[in-house]
């Protein structure tokens, strides 16, 4: 996960998570999550300079997960389980 990852600082981070999984192409991760009914996006999301700065432009960018106050704990657990399965 990119950005603020310290749980004590989560109150100052946005609910958008930018992630990559070692050994997995972002297109593969986004497709697999989409096939499970999880809405994500992949690429640079009009933030190409940030993606370049993070060093992931050549590998396709990041997977973006947008969370909000209406997401349930069960939906988050489903996302984490899906990412864990994809990561192998």
Domain boundaries, given as residue ranges, for the chain: 7-87
Eight-state DSSP code of residue 36? T
Q: What is the CATH number that goes with domain 7-87?
A: 3.90.1150.10
pLDDT of residue 50: 93
Give the integer Cα–Cα distance in Å for 55 and 34: 25
Residues 6+ apart with CB under 8 A from 64: 16, 17, 18, 40, 41, 42, 45
pLDDT of residue 11: 87
Chain segment 13-47, per-residue pLDDT in tens = 888 899 999 999 999 999 999 999 999 999 999 99
Residues 6+ apart with CB under 8 A from 33: 40, 63, 79, 82, 83, 86
pLDDT of residue 68: 87
Residues 6+ apart with CB under 8 A from 26: 20, 42, 43, 56, 59, 60, 61, 62, 63
Instruction: Indicate the pLDDT class of residue 69, thresholds 50, 70 and 90.
Output: confident
Place of tokens 């981070």: 13
pTM as predicted:
0.86
């Amino acid at each position: 996960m990119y950005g603020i990852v310290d749980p004590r600082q989560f109150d100052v981070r946005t609910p958008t998570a930018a992630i990559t999984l070692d050994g997995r192409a972002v297109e593969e991760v986004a497709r697999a999550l989409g096939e499970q009914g999880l809405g994500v996006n992949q690429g640079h999301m009009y933030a190409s300079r940030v993606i370049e700065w993070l060093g992931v432009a050549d590998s396709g960018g990041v997977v973006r997960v947008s969370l909000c106050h209406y997401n349930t704990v069960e939906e988050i657990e489903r996302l984490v389980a899906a990412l864990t399965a994809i990561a192998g």
